[in-house]
Amino acid sequence: MNVAVLGLGSAGSRHARNLLVLGHDVVAFDPGSVASPENVARAGSLESAIESTEVVIVASPNSLHAAQAVAALEAGRHVLVEKPLATTVGDAERIVEAAALAQVTCGVAMNLRFHAGVLGLRNLLGTNALGTPMLAQASFGYDLRRWHPASDYRQSYSARAELGGGIVFDAIHELDYLLWLLGPILSVAGEAGHVSELGVDVEDTAVATVRFASGALGTIDVNFVEPAYRRTCLIVGSRAVARWDWRSSSITVSREGADDSVIDTRCDVSETYRAELVDFFAALNAGRPPATPADDGLAAVRLADGIKRSAALGRRVMLDRD
């Protein structure tokens, strides 16, 4: 298919290269002077990029996601938005409404839904191997200066409020996969702040407690400050406990009176980015929703907004749900 990629930062360039490998024709638009990947045509404007293609991938800074996605949807294009769907609930709702009105497909690029660790947890829950889930803990941390060491982290969208940065939206993977694994969240109490020496004007650390509609409780902690990469998830069920650890590439399942069992979750992370594209185009061909439909992206934005609102208000907040 003919695909437009809006934004040629690290995510957009990766999408463009993967699309070429998958056999699609790619045109890109980026107002900056960044070079296009080899064999990627360059559009002179946002409008011409959208008009010349059937599918649009929005990979611009977070603050531009809503306006660009809505423009593409209103033009009747199918759209895949790099996470997060938007940086406000209102903008995320606009995207969902625009997709519904245009009767086209809109999804969110959430590559962790294709990671063996998250899929392994989902399988354990789906087969009831853990019993009734009662508690979940999702964590992510890594020093922002180490994310892209060849560039100045202070110029990245992650570090700048006007571009929609901050750890809550950058680590929205944790919010999304908890919702995917355990279902809707009713309320959240959050704290967020700039606690490090990083030269950023956004929150670099956030913690939250959540109450799921099922009655289970959960905690989320994410940060830009941790010296060593950490990504983990713990799920406590009535039958067993599962612990996923990114660095050890394993899920450990523990039961009283039984030896721990270990599930190998090694995978090529680059394949998860290709898998989300393969799934999106398969969804278009089959007329089904993609793995992460826009409605799920909206739910994650509502949770992110809830964490930020709770931190600002100093109290637990309820999450609005349709």
pLDDT of 34 over the 90 cut: no
Q: Average of pLDDT values for 186-213?
A: 96
How much of the chain, in percent, has pLDDT values that exceed 70? 99
What's the pLDDT at 321? 56
CATH topology of domain 112-266+300-318: Dihydrodipicolinate Reductase; domain 2 (3.30.360)
What's the pLDDT at 322? 39
Average pLDDT, the chain: 95
- Domain 2-110+275-291 class in CATH: alpha beta
**Surface-to-core class of residue 289, CB atoms within 10 Å of its CB (0-12 exposed, 13-18 middle, 19+ buried):** middle
What's the pLDDT at 217? 98
- CA distance readout (Å), 299 to 77, 88, 99, 127, 234: 23, 11, 16, 25, 21
Portions of the chain given CATH number 3.30.360.10: 112-266+300-318
What's the pTM?
0.95
pLDDT class for 18, splitting at 50, 70, 90?
very high
Portions of the chain given CATH number 3.40.50.720: 2-110+275-291
Tell me if 165 sits within 8 A of 204, measured CB to CB: no
pLDDT of 1 over the 80 cut: yes
pLDDT of 249 over the 90 cut: yes
